[in-house]
Chains A and B, each alone.
Chain A
Amino acid sequence: MPSPDRMPDTEPSGWLDRRFPVTGFLRREYVAFPMPRNLNALWSFGAFLIVTMAFMIASGLFLAINYTPDITQAFASVETIDRQIPSGWFIRGLHMGGVTMLFACLYIHLGRGLWYGSYKAPRELLWLTGLGLMLMIMVTAFAGYVLPWGQMSYWGATVVLNAVHAIPLIGHPLSELLLGGETLGNIALRRLFVLHFTMAFAILGVIALHVAALHVVKSNNPTGIDPTSPAQTLPFHPYYTSRDGFALCLFLMVYAGLVFFLPGLLTLADNYIQANPLITPRDIRPEWYFAPFYAILRAVPSRLGGLILAIGSLAVLFALPWMDRSSIRPATRRPLVRFSLPLAFASFILLGIAGMHPPTETWLIVSRVAMAWWFIHFLLVMPLASEREIPS
């Protein structure tokens, strides 16, 4: 008996479908797939992330072909890509710009999920796979940043290494195991190189899980009330394909603007100086996407405490679906959360700004206050609001 989502056998695709139901799958999941009618522009950032990942992997493969993972040649091989390899400057610009776009979209995508309560039942696994992806992307970005073997590559990685050393008992053995020695050297560089592009493909796999989970539980929407009848939905194609297509053009314009006109924003100038273990740069600054966590590391007087809190700032996100017991999804309908969550967003941004400045008294205070609010929001306000709040 023909099922409604199968092409008739007379169609050429019907032949394929009877043997391997790929057209039926695409039709069901990407053409007829029911979407809420009221999604806003923030729902396009998932599509941006997929497109950016595609750019990263494509440009990354070309870079890997010309890169030499050896501490004496890594820096020069990147210079060769930038200067002598035809269009190398463009491929590398695409890769460097891609990191910034990836993290920008990731944080907005995550913020969207927080604001509209997209982590709540039945979307917990969607939320967890998404957070898992974020961690994987962070590890990949860290490994990737070490590869050009510039001053910031070396000293940024040293900061992370010192943080790992702060773990009692297992800290030193762990970092030696990971990096093949006490300090960063050739073994570490090769391991990070392999890690960097192995992780890239592992990320693709987890993206598949994330999207599969999305297609089971369907998209949340700004009201937080799931559509109950087909009349409340629109098919994915042509409605959201056309809208995402337009949004993608705008997104690519920002991406191209960075790559072609503001390449100086994409990396720190000190990374154009080859790594020198004997000369510590005047101030070691992380890339902007790691700045909030760097600010937390610095804001705590104890190294171990800083590490625990930096990890904790992400761990609270994993626990969120179970900390927030309210059945109401969007913050717009929750008087306490509507006030507290934007402050948590502001805290994250402030931590980021603090992380990019030298640790003066003022910036340390700003970091501590912002960090405190981040934890207060997730550990106190969310559980309390679930019980005390009267929805509006």
Chain B
Amino acid sequence: MTRRIRPLLLAASLTALPAAASTPAQRGLVVFQQVCAACHGMEHVDYGDMTALGLSPDDIRKWAADQDLPDGVDDNGDPKTRHATPSDPILSPYPNAAVGRLANHGLLPPDLSRLVLTLPGGADEIRQILLSYAPTPPGVKLDEGRYYNTALKWKHIGMPPPLQDGMLTYPDGTRATSVQMANDVSAFLDWVAHPHQSERRRIGLYVLAYLALMALLTFLLQRRVWSSRR
């Protein structure tokens, strides 16, 4: 009986969520791939880690293969490269920090692995920055490669405005407005900074429930033991 039902249940559970529906973090991954990854890397995150966001192994392999990594030297002593694999880190597109600075008016696009933890304002600060670009007001003179942004204390940033309405198409059909993309990508970076957070909390609840039960039992035991003392 159960043997026959189990595959049915499995199939039903797979179709229960329409394939197109996605979480903000999943949509944020699309924004990262198509927008952020042009300048930023996440050097402590592997391509394979994206399975946790539901990216299929094939898609991960394809995405990783876009990146070339140095791979020693060939028989003539010339440098070789290879395609990245799912177990390689998502590196910045610049081969080193000096090239990164050269390409960005002297400022290196920061690594995004732990950005949400190290920015005082967390994911919300990233969202604010992405949505707070404005035309430079008259009278304000910014250096070349600096963009006016009201979310920052000193009102400018080295990152050109990255988001424009409709610049990408979400696979689930969500309209890619700037606000939508800013929300999604900050949710994604929040997940990247502590990828095990929801699992951590889920297990934590079980642990606390178990300990609470044990506390109750040991409390009753202790009362019983102490009430019988001479």
Residues of A within 8 A of B46 (CB): 83-84
B113 touches A260 (CB 8 A): no
Q: How far is the CB of A84 from the nearest CB of chain B, in Å?
A: 6
- Is A80 in contact with chain B by the CB < 8 A criterion? yes
Produce 1/0 per residue, B35-72, CB < 8 A to A.
Answer: 00000000111100100000000000000000000000
Residues of A within 8 A of B203 (CB): 90, 260
25 A-B residue pairs with Cβ-Cβ distance under 8 Å, sorted by A, are: A83-B46, A83-B49, A84-B46, A231-B230, A239-B225, A243-B222, A245-B221, A246-B219, A246-B222, A248-B218, A249-B211, A249-B214, A249-B215, A249-B218, A253-B211, A256-B204, A256-B208, A260-B204, A261-B204, A263-B200, A269-B117, A269-B120, A270-B118, A272-B117, A272-B118
CB-CB nearest in chain B for A151: B118
Given known contacts A79-B44, A242-B221, A272-B118, is B215 in contact with A257 (CB within 8 Å)?
A: no
- Is B201 in contact with chain A by the CB < 8 A criterion? yes
Residues of B within 8 A of A261 (CB): 200-201, 204
A260 touches B118 (CB 8 A): no
- Is B207 in contact with chain A by the CB < 8 A criterion? yes
- Is A250 in contact with chain B by the CB < 8 A criterion? yes
- Is A273 in contact with chain B by the CB < 8 A criterion? yes
Complex formed: what's the CA distance from A269 to B230 in Å? 54
Complex formed: what's the CA distance from A283 to B202 in Å? 35
Q: How far is the CB of A119 from the nearest CB of chain B, in Å?
A: 29
Given known contacts A80-B44, A249-B218, A260-B203, is B118 in contact with A243 (CB within 8 Å)?
A: no
CB-CB nearest in chain A for B220: A246
B200 touches A234 (CB 8 A): no
- Is B226 in contact with chain A by the CB < 8 A criterion? yes
Residues of A within 8 A of B219 (CB): 246
Of A84, A90, A257, the residue contacting B49 (CB under 8 A) is A84
Nearest 10 CB-CB pairings of A with B: A260-B204, A249-B215, A79-B44, A246-B218, A272-B114, A242-B222, A89-B196, A245-B218, A242-B225, A253-B211
8 Å CB interface, B158-187 against A: none
Residues of A within 8 A of B226 (CB): 239, 242-243
Complex formed: what's the CA distance from A79 to B46 in Å? 11
- Is B212 in contact with chain A by the CB < 8 A criterion? yes
Complex formed: what's the CA distance from A90 to B195 in Å? 12
Complex formed: what's the CA distance from A248 to B194 in Å? 29
- Is B229 in contact with chain A by the CB < 8 A criterion? yes
The bracket for how many chain B residues form the interface is 20 to 34
A273 touches B118 (CB 8 A): yes
Interface of A: prevailing SS: helix
Complex formed: what's the CA distance from A261 to B202 in Å? 10
A83 touches B44 (CB 8 A): yes
Complex formed: what's the CA distance from A261 to B114 in Å? 18
Complex formed: what's the CA distance from A231 to B229 in Å? 11
Residues of A within 8 A of B195 (CB): 83
- Is A76 in contact with chain B by the CB < 8 A criterion? yes
CB-CB nearest in chain A for B43: A76
Complex formed: what's the CA distance from A80 to B230 in Å? 57
Complex formed: what's the CA distance from A341 to B226 in Å? 33
B221 touches A246 (CB 8 A): yes
- Is A93 in contact with chain B by the CB < 8 A criterion? yes
- Is A259 in contact with chain B by the CB < 8 A criterion? yes
Produce 1/0 per residue, A255-279, CB < 8 A to B.
Answer: 0110111011000011011000000
A238 touches B196 (CB 8 A): no
Complex formed: what's the CA distance from A323 to B49 in Å? 60
- Is A252 in contact with chain B by the CB < 8 A criterion? yes
Complex formed: what's the CA distance from A248 to B114 in Å? 34
Residues of A within 8 A of B49 (CB): 83-84
Complex formed: what's the CA distance from A90 to B204 in Å? 10
A79 touches B218 (CB 8 A): no
Other than the given A250-B215, A259-B204, 11 more pairs (CB < 8 A) read A83-B44, A83-B49, A84-B46, A239-B229, A245-B222, A249-B211, A253-B212, A253-B215, A256-B208, A260-B205, A272-B118
Complex formed: what's the CA distance from A113 to B230 in Å? 28
Q: How far is the CB of A97 from the nearest CB of chain B, in Å?
A: 11
Q: How far is the CB of B18 from the nearest CB of chain A, in Å?
A: 30
Residues of B within 8 A of A272 (CB): 114, 117-118
B221 touches A256 (CB 8 A): no
B218 touches A260 (CB 8 A): no
Of A79, A80, A242, A260, the residue contacting B207 (CB under 8 A) is A260
Residues of B within 8 A of A231 (CB): 230
Interface centre among B43, B120, B194 (most CB of A within 10 A): B194
Complex formed: what's the CA distance from A272 to B196 in Å? 16
Q: How far is the CB of A255 from the nearest CB of chain B, in Å?
A: 9
Residues of B within 8 A of A263 (CB): 194, 200
Q: How far is the CB of B116 from the nearest CB of chain A, in Å?
A: 10
Residues of B within 8 A of A257 (CB): 204, 208
Complex formed: what's the CA distance from A92 to B196 in Å? 12
CB-CB nearest in chain B for A231: B230
Complex formed: what's the CA distance from A259 to B205 in Å? 11
Residues of A within 8 A of B117 (CB): 264, 269, 272
CB-CB nearest in chain A for B196: A89
Complex formed: what's the CA distance from A245 to B219 in Å? 8
Complex formed: what's the CA distance from A269 to B113 in Å? 13
Residues of B within 8 A of A252 (CB): 211
CB-CB nearest in chain B for A272: B114
